[in-house]
């Protein structure tokens, strides 16, 4: 977790290749956002596996931002070679359209 621009970010970093497990992580992220006060929390899933299919649909429905797949790996490579790494933080910020709003989307 971290705060940025008056928003609490709840980050879940996953490397799982089983769809059901990743779907459960999305469910848990949404539950954490609700527990912490969803109008001021931005849940974000960070995964080396690309977020697609049912997981992408679930993330969209739950308003969970994501940074994943080859794009994440490129960001990490750029940050590791930089004297002032910030690409991952910028990507997380860009992945979030704002805090989730109660009851606006369904799965």
> What pLDDT score was predicted for residue 101?
59
> What pLDDT score was predicted for residue 12?
87
Please tell me whether the overall predicted TM-score, pTM, comes out greater than 0.95 for this model. Answer: no
Q: Indicate if the pLDDT at residue 4 is higher than 70.
A: yes
User: What is the chain's mean pLDDT, rounded?
Assistant: 84
Sign of the CA dihedral running 32, 68, 97, 27:
negative
Q: Which of 55, 12, 40, 51 is nearest to 102 (CA)?
A: 40
pLDDT band at 103 (very low <50, low <70, confident <90, very high): low
Assign a CATH topology to domain 2-95: Rossmann fold (3.40.50)
Residue 9, Cβ density class (10 Å: 0-12 exposed, 13-18 middle, ≥19 buried): buried
Q: Indicate if the pLDDT at residue 99 is higher than 60.
A: no
Beta bridge partners of 71: none
Residue 48, Cβ density class (10 Å: 0-12 exposed, 13-18 middle, ≥19 buried): middle
> What pLDDT score was predicted for residue 49?
86
């Amino acid at each position: 977790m971290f705060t940025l621009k008056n928003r609490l970010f709840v980050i879940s970093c996953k490397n799982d290749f089983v769809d059901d497990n990743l779907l459960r992580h999305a469910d848990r992220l949404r539950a954490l956002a609700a527990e912490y006060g969803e109008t001021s929390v931005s849940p974000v899933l960070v995964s080396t596996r690309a977020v697609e299919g049912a997981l992408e649909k679930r993330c969209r429905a739950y308003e969970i931002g994501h940074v994943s797949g080859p794009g994440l790996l490129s960001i990490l490579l750029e940050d590791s070679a930089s004297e002032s790494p910030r690409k991952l933080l910028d990507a997380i910020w860009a992945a979030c359209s704002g805090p989730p709003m109660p009851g606006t989307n369904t799965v």
